[in-house]
Amino acid sequence: MHAAFPRLPASLRQQVRHNQSATQLDNRSGLRLRLIGIVAVLCGVLAGCAASAERAMSDSAGLSAMSEASVAEPGAPAADAVQPSIIVTGYLALATADVAAAAAQARTIVADLDGRVDEESDELPDPTEPQERTVSLRVRVPAGAFDDAIDQLGTLGAVTSRTVTRTDVTLQVVDTAARIRTLTDAIARLRVLINDADSTADLIAAETALAERQAELDSLTAQSAYLNDQTSLATISILLTWREAGSGWDRGGIWLVGGALIGAAAVAAGLLIAHRIRLRRRPVAP
């Protein structure tokens, strides 16, 4: 059996209950204060995170702008302002009564346009047969003077064939230039690595990489020079052949007129025959 505790006086019991109520109230107040403090700390953390994110985005945008500004060289044209690179070639076949004179005039026309003759071939198997003579020329003229050159050369004889080809190599030119810049920077970095190499293995590896990059750079440089030559100067191949004076269009005109006269005569003869047949079939009057 449990020992019985003495019963407390009423005044003392009331004081105990009052103290318990005060303690519970203080506990609830402390809990509220702690909750308020936690909420305030969380709000501060969230605000700090938001501010940090905003600063990070701002810094990132600034770095991107600085990167773009550093990549673009001062005074460099925009990508949409790249000038087109066109390779222009032409072929012209002419028939003339004096092949040698026409070849001399062709050389003069090309020289007046600041061009040059790269190849020339004069073939005459039999001096007694001038109709077998042919002269071939391969000339280069500035690309801007191509149309003028082809028009002037076309007056040296009867044009039997004419071909003009334009090939756009803009993308190839831009890509080659970009690769040359990249390789040039890589070679500069490799030279620094060679100077700062701490071991023989590092030195050999850097020199091997440098030799490979240099060979590739030399190849691209040669390709760039070729493209620049092909786009700055147009190429025209000319074939001069002999024809008899008065032939060609003159003889063709004669054949055309003769054919027309023969056709008209045939039509007239047919009408005359039809008229006679009708007269024969007409009944004789009694």
**How many CA atoms, within 13 angstroms, populate the side-chain half-sphere of residue 6?**
4
pLDDT digit string, tens, across residues 139-173: 999 999 999 999 999 999 999 999 999 999 999 99
Averages of pLDDT over each 10 residues, the chain, 286 residues: 48 53 50 50 48 44 41 48 91 94 96 96 79 90 96 95 96 96 95 89 90 95 96 97 65 46 57 56 48
What's the predicted TM-score (pTM) here?
0.56
pLDDT digit string, tens, across residues 27-54: 455 545 455 555 454 455 444 544 444 4
Mean pLDDT, rounded, of the chain: 74
